[in-house]
A and B are shown apart, each in its own frame.
Chain A
């Protein structure tokens, strides 16, 4: 097992190097650079930009250099903990993103937990009581959640909150708690704001989870070991939860790695609509203004999350599914 983990970690590092090159190249792909978009902004306000000024800026920012030089500067900086400067904000990238990533992980992590809390019991119920009224209701509800676009659901929630309660929903904190330290009132304030995005993000994925769990569980429930367990007089809940559910979880666990990045990218529009200070809107803006190092850092960190998540899910899989063996001959 340890040998497996070590091999997995080495592969992870190599993947990260490859991913960082690809990420940087993709950000460089669109025509123009930060200065083009900066000049576009200036020009739209009626300014004429002197080409000499542009040359000067391009030199200052090191934008004229070839791709591999820029990449090498960037990646060696990152190894030393320096993610570069944001062009737009003239600030170290790390300073800008760490709070945002924290918010993202918090909100999106809670959305994952809520999603699982909703989906697991419903999935199990739907499998055990196949074709019952409850199964159909759960299915329909799940599919509605899947079918409504997240941003639209967010808009509806905002509108209803405005109509019914006369409040403007948005943000993660009330003004007085925005910059406060964590405390019980602040946690309460956070939860009273965060329930909406969490709900929106969670409903999007539940249907999928319910269907996967239900299908897998249905396969398992017919197997002889279940019949045997039942025949030996185990209580029904134990029969189901202890073996078939554990095995049915396999596809869920093996996709943990995709979950976090999918949530971050999936939540961009929700964050914009609901005005959440998470990494999503910042990524969106940095891409449109071609703020290269900021966008690169966010994409790289998302990739790290994916790769690390995959390693975790591999290890978890080995733990929950006794049928999986690594490196065995």
Chain B
């Protein structure tokens, strides 16, 4: 930077001098903190630690080693932040734009035409953080553990709906075979779900399993556990399980390894660089650049983290602290805190999804909620602009639950239909839905003579603005003869109510705005999170057959189409099929949205370099990890 400000000949001379001076530094291939260990023979030379063909990660600039990245965990159980920062290392990964699947641990792969067979080749010479080679043996062991009924992990590896078998070809090559076609398998592998398969090391974890250690049960008992399965879970928790990060002995393939583990009493969780990490920058320097991670653990409140960020004690963070309410505060504090705000595009399409229960057990409400006219009427009765102005200081626009403008599936008609505030249209649709009589308070009467009251379950602890929005909607809808009752409950109860089927409506955010294809919960009855048609979703998944209900024909058609999507390996044909699913969604209008989720922001210290200005954020695209924090560095 200093060079830029000098001019003319002196500048050139200074530049030449600097280059000469910097030459040894450029030849640097590992962090200086490892030098002593290599010299003493404790650690092999960097060339021996790196694979023959390391994964090259390019940042905007070649960085320099050192420093500690400070951030904050919210409460003890915040494994999410760790996954999103450290643990996103699967066989493959996403590019920064969330479009293409790139090689990671696997160097290359091949898929069969019918999308049932996937053959992978591992990068040669990748090592675990303890220095032992990463091979197909570890993959085979992981599959074996996941498919062991006693080791209750839960993922695509042991998915009963589409069973998978593994064939090991040699040390580096292996093949997954699915019973049914799995066209989106690479997307699954590139998302957070992909880290399941890379989470267990055979050499370490096999010692807790009776197949490999006949004393496994006795060891578990003497360690204070009821059986080997619980002990194995404790020592070798899978994927992103919270306690996975509480065992510092567990070898990993992450850029950083645990130094102070996560525990119920940890006040900070710290990490140091993995000397065997298998990625380099464009010049062959081993990554990561940053030596240490320091995650302070708050006791569940974000106040301290917010102040710490304002005070320049957080180097990069988006999770927890980037709330709507704090945005002006962070904006004003940029200069004093030495940071700036980055742009974060959420994957959710909508701020609030009103999901009326189309599988209601009460026949009167069931009929009412299943009437499209009723849902359209409600949608027209909501003055969305008022909500946006009051709750979101004007950020966002009226929007239904639909793919976001950034998504390839964006469809303006789907996103905007029925969003205009129109009292006449609302009244017309209510009438078409059979609502004509009103009681003394002006509330419509249902066919059984009871007032039209909708009890809405909401967890305000999750998103405080939901209550603000609902209170406005309550007033707006009351004026049209619909009585909205807010039922603010705890998350556990919220989930318990779903199988019972006797709730009127539940509130959530609009997941699937960008990753519509992988997360179509609002577009058709896809998963347990399709609360609006919970019993139809059970029919689709076959998970809880005792409450499954045969879906309406249109939903069955969507399920059919989606099964074809799953079976299709060609992305273009897949998109075609999925657009047909969305067309039915547009026609049926199952759930009601309010407004487009406004962009969020991240706190980025000014001396932290190589941080992309804009990033997507989702659970399946675990920001910031896909943005390669291993090439971020402190200037």
Contacts and interface: CB of A to CB of B under 8 A. Distances in A.
Is B a genuine binding partner of A? yes
Contact of B264 (A49, A86, A166, A175): A86
Interface stretch (B107-115, B122-130, B223-231, B367-375): B223-231
Nearest to A287: B490
Contacts of B543: 48, 50-51
A157 B251 CA distance: 43
A200 interface: no
A30 B493 contact: yes
Nearest to A100: B265
B485 interface: no
B123 to A, nearest CB: 28
Contacts of A52: 149, 160
A275 B298 CA distance: 5
Interface in A30-88: 30-32, 36-37, 39-40, 42-53, 56-57, 60, 86, 88
Interface string A261-287: 000000000011111110001101100
Interface stretch (A91-99, A108-116, A121-129, A223-231): A91-99
B268 A158 contact: no
A155 B243 CA distance: 32
B154 A49 contact: yes
B494 A40 contact: yes
Contacts of A282: 76, 264
A56 B152 contact: yes
A53 to B, nearest CB: 5
A50 B154 contact: yes
B353 interface: no
B304 A170 contact: yes
Contact of B495 (A43, A90, A171, A277): A43
A71 B149 CA distance: 28
Contact of B265 (A37, A43, A171, A277): A277
B496 A31 contact: yes
A281 B304 CA distance: 14
Interface stretch (B20-28, B168-176, B308-316): B308-316
B528 A48 contact: yes
Interface string B255-297: 0000000011101100000000000000000000000000000
B495 A96 contact: no
Contacts of B264: 86, 88-89, 91, 96, 282
27 contacts: A40-B492, A43-B528, A45-B80, A46-B519, A46-B620, A47-B154, A47-B193, A48-B527, A48-B541, A49-B154, A53-B152, A60-B152, A60-B230, A88-B77, A88-B242, A89-B263, A89-B264, A90-B234, A91-B263, A99-B265, A273-B301, A273-B303, A277-B299, A281-B300, A285-B75, A288-B490, A288-B491
Interface of B: 75-77, 80, 149-150, 152-155, 158-160, 192-193, 224, 226-227, 229-230, 233-234, 240, 242-243, 246, 263-265, 267-268, 298-301, 303-304, 307-308, 310-311, 313, 490-496, 511, 518-519, 527-529, 541, 543-544, 619-620
A50 B518 CA distance: 18
A47 B492 contact: no
A31 B493 contact: yes
A203 interface: no
A178 B269 CA distance: 12
Given A45-B192, A53-B152, A60 B227 contact: yes
A50 B234 CA distance: 21
B619 A46 contact: yes
Contacts of A155: 303
A290 interface: yes
A89 B299 contact: no
Nearest to B149: A56
B229 A42 contact: no
A273 B307 CA distance: 11
Contacts of A96: 264-265
Determine the main DSSP class of B at the interface with A. loop
A162 B495 contact: no
Contacts of B233: 90
Interface string A169-200: 11101010010000000000000000000000
Nearest to A284: B300
A273 B154 CA distance: 35
Nearest to B268: A175
Contacts of B263: 89, 91
A100 B491 CA distance: 26
Contacts of A28: none
B496 A178 contact: no
A43 B226 contact: no
B154 A42 contact: yes
A42 B80 CA distance: 11
Contacts of A37: 491-492, 495
Contact of B77 (A32, A171, A285): A285
Interface in A284-305: 284-285, 288-290
Nearest to A282: B264
A57 B152 contact: yes
A70 B619 CA distance: 36
B304 to A, nearest CB: 4
A43 B492 contact: no
B266 to A, nearest CB: 9
A313 B43 CA distance: 63
Contacts of A277: 265, 267, 299
A132 interface: no
Contacts of A44: 529
B495 A39 contact: yes
B304 A273 contact: yes
B304 A162 contact: no
Closest 4 CB pairs of A and B: A281-B299, A170-B304, A272-B301, A40-B495
Contacts of A42: 154
A168 B307 contact: yes
Contact of B301 (A56, A86, A175, A275): A275
Given A31-B496, A42-B154, A88-B264, 8 more contacts: A30-B490, A32-B493, A48-B527, A50-B159, A88-B242, A96-B264, A272-B301, A288-B491
Contacts of B243: 89-90
Most buried by B among A46, A96, A173: A46
A49 B544 CA distance: 11
Contact of B492 (A31, A48, A168, A274): A31
A59 B529 CA distance: 25
Contacts of A91: 263-264
A159 B304 CA distance: 10
Given A56-B150, A275-B304, A277-B265, A47 B493 contact: no
A167 interface: yes
Nearest to B494: A40
Contacts of A167: 311
A270 B511 CA distance: 34
Contacts of A32: 492-493, 495-496
A277 B267 CA distance: 7
Contact of B154 (A53, A271, A275): A53
Contact of A89 (B226, B246, B304, B496): B246
A36 B229 CA distance: 20
